Amino acid sequence: MRILEIRPHRAGGKTIARFDAELDHGIKAYDLKLVQGDAGLRVYGPALHGGAAVTFPAIIASQLAILALEAIAHHGPYPLRCA
């Protein structure tokens, strides 16, 4: 897995960033949202017609959250294509 692009969110609130990622087997997910929730970091897929367009098992969501945080720490608070 890898982060393709990271877009840190600077407007306040619980959203830390939006990002695009490449999962295993070349599957790409776009416009994912990294959120600081009450129980820790969460990753959400984009909404589609009021529901989730994609969901992730907890282990995958955790790995994506770590990769997104590392991308922000490495590249700073500005949008960046990581690939």
Whole-number Å distance between alpha carbons of 68 and 20: 9
Whole-number Å distance between alpha carbons of 10 and 29: 22
Q: Model pTM greater than 0.95?
A: no
pLDDT at 39: 86
Question: What residues does each domain of the chain span?
Answer: 2-81
Whole-number Å distance between alpha carbons of 4 and 24: 13
User: Bridge partners of 8?
Assistant: 17
| Mean pLDDT split into 10-residue runs, the chain, 83 residues | 91 90 95 92 92 91 94 75 62
Q: Judge whether 32 and 22 are in contact, CB under 8 Å.
A: no
pLDDT at 67: 95
Distances (CA, A) of 39 to 9, 14, 52: 20, 12, 20
Task: Report the CATH fold assignment for 2-81.
Answer: Arylsulfatase, C-terminal domain (3.30.1120)
